[in-house]
Structure 1
Amino acid sequence: MTPDPAARLTALYERHHRQVYAYAVSRAGRPLADDVVSETYLVAWRRLADVPAQPLPWLLGVARNVMHERYRDQVRQAGLAAEMARWVRDAEDVADGVTERVATLSALAWLPDRDREILTLTAWHGLTTGQAARVLGCSRATFLVRLHRARKRLEQVLSAASAVPTSTSTRRRVTDEQRVAAAG
C-alpha cells in the first residue's frame, strides 16, 4: 500500500531535516540555511515520486543544486548591478537637457508660425529637406533658404534669452521689442 504523499513527505522531513540543515549551514551559512532547506523540501514535494528509497543523498544533492542556483542568481544580480552602475555613471546629466529643451521651446514660442513649422518639419518630424519642401509646396532650394533663415532667427531669440540674468533677484523679462528684433 502506497502511503499518503503528505505523510510520506512529513516522514522524510522528520527523518532527514537535521542532516539537510547541517549540510546547508556548512555550505551556505546559517542565514541562508532555512531557505535552502525549505526549497529542498519543496522540490522533494514536487518530485516525491522521484525520491529514492535511500533519500538522504538525493536530498543533499537537491540542497546542493539549490545553493548553486542561489549563487548563480547572486552573481547575475551583482553583474546587473555593476552594469546599471556603469549606465548611471556614463549617463548624461538630464538637467542640462531639460534646461536646453525649455530654452529651445521658449524660443520657438516667440518665432513666427512659419519658422516654427519649417524647423519642426525636419527636427521633430524627421522629414528630409525634399519631403519638407513638398509639405510646404516649394522647391528644395527655397526650403533650404527658409530653413537657414529660421535657424538664424532661432539663434537670435536664444541669444537674447540667454543674455537675460537668471538670478531671481535680478531677473527681468525679455521685452517684446527685443523678441521682435531678434525674430527679425
Structure 2
Amino acid sequence: MSDDSTTDHQDPERLFSALWAAHAHRILAYAQRHVGPDLADEVVAETFLVAWRRLADVPGEALPWLLVVARNTVANQRRSGFRRRAVSQELARIVHLVETHPSAETSALERQTVLRALATLSPREREALLLVSWDGLAPGAAAQVAGCSPSAFAMRLSRARTRLRHASAADAPPPDEPVDHSLELQDGRA
C-alpha cells in the first residue's frame, strides 16, 4: 500500500491488518463466485499471504491488485485440480493394467500393497515417485518436469519413498488373510 506515511512503512503488521479489514470480505465474495464456498477460504488465505509477502508492492488502490492475485490463485487451483484428476485417472489406468495383466514375478499381494500405498501419497509425491520409478527420469530431469527446483524435488521424492515404505509395511495383511483385489484410489493434496 504505497503512501507517504512513514508510520505505515514502519509497521507492516498494522498495514496488513488494515488491508485485511478493508478488503478480505470482498476477496471472499470474489472467491466464492469462482470456486464455491468450499475452496473460497483457501483463495482468501493465499491471496493475503501473497499480499503479506509483497506488502511493499501493494498499491494505494489495493482492491484491484488483490483481485488479480485472487484470480491467479483461482487459476492455480484449477490447474492443480486438473493435475490431481489426471494423476488419479492415470493411477486408475495403471491399476487396471496391473490387475488385467499380472506380472509373473510380482505376487498379487505385493501389487495390491504397493498400489494401495501409492494411492495414499499426495499428488506431488506420487508424481515424483512415478517420474523417477515409472518414467525412468533422473531426479534433475524429473524436477524440471515437475516444475520445481532439484532440491525441492529431491525432498519430495524422499518423502514419497519414506511414506510409501511406511504405508506398504502398515498395509500388508497377515499371510493367512485372503487378498481383497478391489482397490480404491484416494485423492490426496500437495
TM-score for both structures, normalised by structure 2 = 0.49
Structure 1: how far apart are the matches of 2:34 and 2:86?
Answer: 23
- Aligned partner of 2:102 among 93, 98, 105: 93
Deviation per CA, 1:102-157: give whole Å up to 9, x if none: xxxxxxxxxxxxxxxxxxxxxxxxxxxxxxxxxxxxxxxxxxxxxxxxxxxxxxxx
Structure 2: how far apart are the matches of 1:88 and 1:72?
Answer: 24
1:7 match: 14
Gaps of 5+ in 1: 100-184
- Aligned partner of 1:56 among 58, 63, 68: 63
Structure 2: how far apart are the matches of 1:38 and 1:46?
Answer: 12
**SS across alignment from 2:73:** helix
| Inter-CA distance 98–76: structure 2 relative to 1 (3 Å threshold) | closer
Structure whose alpha-carbon radius of gyration is higher? 1
- Aligned partner of 1:26 among 33, 42, 49: 33
2:79 match: 72
| Inter-CA distance 98–30: structure 2 relative to 1 (3 Å threshold) | closer
Deviation of residue 2 (structure 1)? 3.9
TM-score for both structures, normalised by structure 1 = 0.51
Structure 2: how far apart are the matches of 1:97 and 1:37?
Answer: 47
Structure 2: how far apart are the matches of 1:6 and 1:53?
Answer: 16
Deviation of residue 93 (structure 1)? 2.6
Gaps of 5+ in 2: 1-5, 109-190
1:46 aligns with 2:46: no
Task: Output aligned runs, 1:1-184, within 5 Å.
Answer: 1-3=6-8, 4-91=11-98, 92-93=101-102, 97-98=106-107
